[in-house]
Amino acid sequence: MERWLNKVAVVTGASSGIGAATTKNLIEAGFQVIGLARRIDRLNELKSQLPFDKRQQLTVSHCDVSCTASVDGAFNEILQKFGGIDVLINNAGCLMGGQLCTMDIQDLEKILQTNVMGVVRCTQIAFKSMKERDVNGHIIMMNSINGHKVLTALPKLPMTNMYTPAKYALTAITDIYRQEFAALKTKIKITSISPGLVDTEMVHEKVRQKHANCMLDPDDVAHAILYALSTPMDVQVHEIMIRPLGEMF
């Protein structure tokens, strides 16, 4: 990890769960981290929890990835202050309960805008920065088991609606990026991380009660991200699927 010392990593959805755990792990690894989220108060709380001598490694900024103007504004500030982006963790996500056949169309559009188009826009800006500086950059896509299989086990009435199609889109988008990055002769890696059930705020309470003893900790996923970042420059870990032991669906 020495080559990443003082490099710039951007983490979307950094205020809780996997994003917060990843932010802490990246700081411990020596990155300069920019944590982006809608809940700036939670970001500041996260910063206050860091050891005093590490707090200068975290810059917090408001960003709603479902809004292109918000993404552009936040990333422009990052580029002006830090000069470039070396690692992007596309972690921000949106999940709403309901069925695809009856949900409000605006809620479904919000899921797609956050989980797909927000990822695309953040990646476009980070890619441009990495390519222009000809750096060995790395982009991480926070995918899901839902991006490889339509889950119906929890609960019996399907609740993943547009979330699963959005994650399937990330699976395809990740491979498209891999091919584009190679064809454009860049040194940029792309990795998809697909966790099973993770103990985060997004988990429905009924699911939490049923699977309380069979969930990943956010740190488990953060460690997988660090593993992908730690590989040699000529090694690209394209997909990591990580599931809690005993998961049945």
Which residues are catalytically annotated? 163
Measured in residues, the chain has a length of 249
- Kindly list the distances between the CA atom of residue 240 and the CA atoms of 31, 166, 171, 191, 229, in Å, as whole numbers in the listed order: 22, 18, 11, 8, 12
Cβ proximity of 214 and 243 under 8 Å: no
Question: Backbone phi, then psi, for 124, in 5-degree steps?
Answer: -55, -45
Distance CA 249, CA 246 (A): 9
List all residues 6 or more positions away from 199 whose beta carbon is below 8 Å from its beta carbon: 208, 215, 216, 217, 218
Cβ-count burial of 142 within 10 angstroms (0-12 exposed, 13-18 middle, 19+ buried)? buried
Residue where the block lists tokens 């797609």: 112
Distance CA 57, CA 60 (A): 10
Cβ proximity of 99 and 19 under 8 Å: no
Question: Backbone phi, then psi, for 51, in 5-degree steps?
Answer: -55, 145
Q: Categorise residue 45: left if φ over 0, alpha if ψ from -120 to 50, beta otherwise.
A: alpha
Q: Please measure the distance between the N-terminal and C-terminal CA atoms of the chain and give it in whole angstroms.
A: 35
